[in-house]
Amino acid sequence: MATTVMAGAVEGVDGVEVQVEVDLVRRLPRVTVVGLPASAVKESTERVRSAILASGLDFPKQRVTINLAPADVKKDGTAFDLAGVMAVGELSLSGALRDVPGALPLALLARQRGVRALILPEDCAGQGAVVPGLNVLSATNLAEVVDWLNGKDTLKKASFVSEPRPVHHGDLADVRGQALARRGLEIAAAGGHNLLLIGAPGSGKTMLASRLGGLLPPMTFEEAIETTRVHSVAGLLPERVGILEQRPFRNPHHSISPAGLLGGASLRPGELSLAHHGVLFLDELPEFSRGTLEQLRSPLERREVVIARSAGAVTLPAACMLVAAANPCACGFLGHPHKPCRCGEAALRRYRQRLSGPLLDRIDLCVRIDPVHSEELFCDRRRESSAEVRERVVAARRAQTERYKSLPIFNNAMLDGPACREAANTTPAGMRLLRDSMEHLSLSARACDRVLKVARTIADLDGVGRVDLEHVAEAVAFRAQDSVEAQGGL
């Protein structure tokens, strides 16, 4: 007689139902796994046997055939002996249940399938408990699960804890001086713009970039679920944490491989996807390999990564803001008020080329960060907090949501071409300045659109419907392209 139970696998960030059909026949004892078993599954038969024996249960002295069937392939509706229960977990030799990656996507699948109960290992049960309307039970070992199936009250209802506040967040209130950088961060947050920070070593680029998360609107529940899914699949959620509530801030080292950044054949999400709904920070941008950055271009624009593999492509989400940081030149001190730059003409040119590499045209705003003056360091004037800035950002984002409600975009950074010019609805004075800037700075049409996008965000921060002279002027000052290309660096 065959018994079928429901389990699940993870593909990309989605749960996929797998039916485990077990058949016992009175023949010589042997265990065979058929269906679509990966080698890890095949090798698990000895582990499962050991776990069953260690739990004080009998292992059948018969021929055991285990058939793994993806639900979309096999839908013949074999009766469920464990009707409507889904169980997921890795068995140790002793019968203890270990954490599995992707508990959240599997819980979402369980809810979609309307299961009566989802049984998860204790350490990741919290991820399932986040899903509203799903009965999630937490188990520590196999014997408990078997007792529960036999009608005993051995499993606890799962609950979750919130993520501890990450240390990197910090507050703008602790930042002294840096008026221009604060403004740049606010505009970037308000419009979802990618940002480049340029400054000498130790000028505070990382410190400023890490504060961007605190300026962005709080994540909606849907966004939090989407972000948590990615981290769940990557096995990166802290123990017992149910849901990520802070926008992620990912800070990969420049030696990272393309697979590490974008995700690889093993389908582990890359840093770009781990930054979904948050910030991807590339410190020392010119040190990243050109090839790696090239591969980032299209996923950044499309807000998703497509990973090709033999069994078909998998798409991972990747809607994040890019913040890059760089020194102004190879020695780091070009334009520094007190320290001389030691780079020669040729070194400056080479550095400029590396900096204006593959990603510069994906960046809307550039901020030059100067060392803080000593009078600013000791001035105890009250500084605005991240929460105060965030209120303006939220209001500006609300205006964008309203304006783009009939379009497939939700912020100014996503505007392009004609949509950009329409949304800007620039006044005649603003238009004149834009045209003059185009001429004097020889801006391309694309560069001009980028100026307009940023000007649109500045006008949204001002709460006005039309882009005017002052908005264009400020946007021009924040341009990335010629900040790098003009003035020999910056």
Query: What residues have CB less than 8 Å from 288, skipping those under 6 apart?
Result: 254, 256, 282
Candidates 124-132, 316-324, 326-334, 423-431: pick the segment binding Zn ion (CB under 5 A): 326-334
Shortest reach from residue 90's CB to Zn ion, in Å: 53
Shortest reach from residue 482's CB to Zn ion, in Å: 19
Closest CB to Zn ion among residues 329, 490: 329
Candidates 230-238, 338-346, 371-379, 394-402: pick the segment binding Zn ion (CB under 5 A): 338-346
Candidates 175-183, 198-206, 254-262, 336-344: pick the segment binding Zn ion (CB under 5 A): 336-344
- Phi-psi label, residue 427: left if phi above 0, alpha if psi -120 to 50, beta otherwise: beta
Query: Strand 195-199 vs strand 365-369: parallel, antiparallel, or unpaired?
Result: parallel
CB 384 within 8 A of CB 314: no
Strand partners, 271: none
Residue with tokens 């023949």: 27
Backbone phi, psi, residue 300, to 5°:
-60, -40
Shortest reach from residue 285's CB to Zn ion, in Å: 16
Site for Zn ion contains 331 (CB under 5 A): yes
Q: What mask of x and - would describe binding to Zn ion in positions 270 to 309, judged by CB under 5 A? A: ----------------------------------------
Closest CB to Zn ion among residues 115, 341: 341
* CA dist list (Å): 282 to 206, 210, 366: 9, 11, 14
Q: Give 420-461 as a DSSP string.
A: HHHHH---HHHHHHHHHHHHHTT--HHHHHHHHHHHHHHHHH
Closest CB to Zn ion among residues 347, 372: 347
Candidates 57-65, 208-216, 257-265, 333-341: pick the segment binding Zn ion (CB under 5 A): 333-341
Locate 384 and state its tokens. Answer: 């605005």
Distance CA 292, CA 255 (A): 10
Closest CB to Zn ion among residues 260, 488: 488
Closest CB to Zn ion among residues 343, 461: 343
CB 88 within 8 A of CB 15: no
Size of the site for Zn ion (CB under 5 A): 5
Name which position in 97, 325, 341, 360 contacts Zn ion (CB under 5 A). 341
Candidates 58-66, 169-177, 235-243, 328-336: pick the segment binding Zn ion (CB under 5 A): 328-336
Closest CB to Zn ion among residues 430, 489: 489
Candidates 96-104, 188-196, 241-249, 321-329: pick the segment binding Zn ion (CB under 5 A): 321-329
Name which position in 216, 275, 334, 461 contacts Zn ion (CB under 5 A). 334
Sign of torsion over alpha carbons 303, 308, 312, 316: negative
Query: Residues 455, 179, 329, 325: what is their CA dihedral angle, to the nearest 10 degrees?
Result: -70
Report the candidate in 207, 489, 196, 204 with the shortest Cα–Cα distance to residue 330. Answer: 489
Query: Strand 304-307 vs strand 2-11: parallel, antiparallel, or unpaired?
Result: unpaired
Closest CB to Zn ion among residues 142, 343: 343
Closest CB to Zn ion among residues 167, 346: 346
Strand partners, 25: 63
Provide the 10 A C-beta neighbour count for residue 270: 28
Distance CA 440, CA 368 (A): 21
Candidates 189-197, 248-256, 276-284, 322-330: pick the segment binding Zn ion (CB under 5 A): 322-330
Shortest reach from residue 359's CB to Zn ion, in Å: 22
Site for Zn ion contains 343 (CB under 5 A): yes
Closest CB to Zn ion among residues 344, 463: 344
Name which position in 216, 224, 272, 329 contacts Zn ion (CB under 5 A). 329
Distance CA 247, CA 276 (A): 8
Q: Which residues bind Zn ion (CB under 5 A)?
A: 329, 331, 334, 341, 343
